Amino acid sequence: MALFTGAACAIVTPFKADGLVDYEQFAKNIEFQIEGKTDAIVVCGSTGEASTLTMEEHMEVIKYCVEKVNKRVPVIAGTGSNCTKTAIELTKKAEEVGVDAVLIVAPYYNKPTQKGLYQHFKAIADSVKIPVILYNIPGRTGVNVQPQTIVKLCREVPNIIGTKEATGDLSQVARLIALGGDDVDVYCGDDNQTLPFLSLGAKGVISVLSNIAPEETHQMCQDFFDGNVKKATETQIKAIALIDALFSETNPIPIKKAMNLMGNWAGPMRPPLTDMEEEHAKVLEDEMRKFGLKF
């Protein structure tokens, strides 16, 4: 059985004006997700600006999220690193604080071979007992975890259960699902491809859009699972322009701007990311209104 089906929110990490983590607002944003019927929460991923959190902050944010969610939905923690030893350390600590699973991004910058990727993921998974979801995002990491490698990991390492795929390549996703069958739980990593992924057999989406539209994102998936493909498709198409605006600059710049507009304070970016350019922010605001978001 899949860890979750439907839409998981890749939740932002809100910061105060002084750059410190805003835990009071983080609690409010978590409740907004729960009330919006989100199916899971992914904390400290790319959208959560994990790359600019200190090790201490990283663990504090994960622990806080686990405590606030309190088992109402699964909490999946991003604990990847381009250093295998560091990723193992983070993953073991996340298991200790009670996460339901971890999301492990492919090692970035190092550009390991498929053999190196296999050994990296296996070493991390072998260090814990909780489920592990791989994260394949070549645009950020510089490496593409091939379908054969993912299937091999899912079949040979008991607690590696699937992958979040953000390659943008639907043909690769189709090959992965054809090769892996029921042994690989596939999750969409690009909001603009949620319905195509589901049509190929994916279990759901790990979503940026869900930060501002949790109920709509959840319901789109649920409609598909319930057989109402027409309604699900209508929602996907309706959201495309908004999703484009949410990725008009590097994630999570636009989604934090959108949340700030809605009053779900996300605060500023941590350097080297900067605030959204005005011309892009205007388009984002217009698309949010067209989608029906209130602010």
Query: Is 135 tagged catalytic?
Result: yes
Assign 291 a pLDDT band (cuts: 50, 70, 90): very high
245 lies in some domain: no
- In tens, the pLDDT along 189-240 reads 999 999 999 999 999 999 999 999 999 999 999 999 999 999 999 999 999 9
250 lies in some domain: no
262 lies in some domain: no
User: Which residues constitute the domain of residue 185?
Assistant: 6-224
Q: Tell me: pLDDT of 294 over 90.
A: no
Alpha helices in 70-225 (DSSP H): 84-97, 114-126, 138-141, 147-156, 170-180, 194-200, 214-225
* pLDDT of 295: 86
- The catalytic residue among 68, 152, 164, 257 is 164
What total of structural domains would you count in the chain? 1
175 lies in some domain: yes
261 lies in some domain: no
- Which of these, 24, 3, 173, lies nearest to 76 by C-alpha position? 3
Query: Is 164 tagged catalytic?
Result: yes
282 lies in some domain: no
- In tens, the pLDDT along 253-263 reads 999 999 999 99
Mean pLDDT of 2-6: 96
Residue 135 token pair? 């994260």
Give the CATH number of the domain where residue 18 resides: 3.20.20.70
CA gap 203, 6 in Å, rounded: 6
- The catalytic residue among 63, 68, 118, 135 is 135
291 lies in some domain: no
* pLDDT of 1: 80
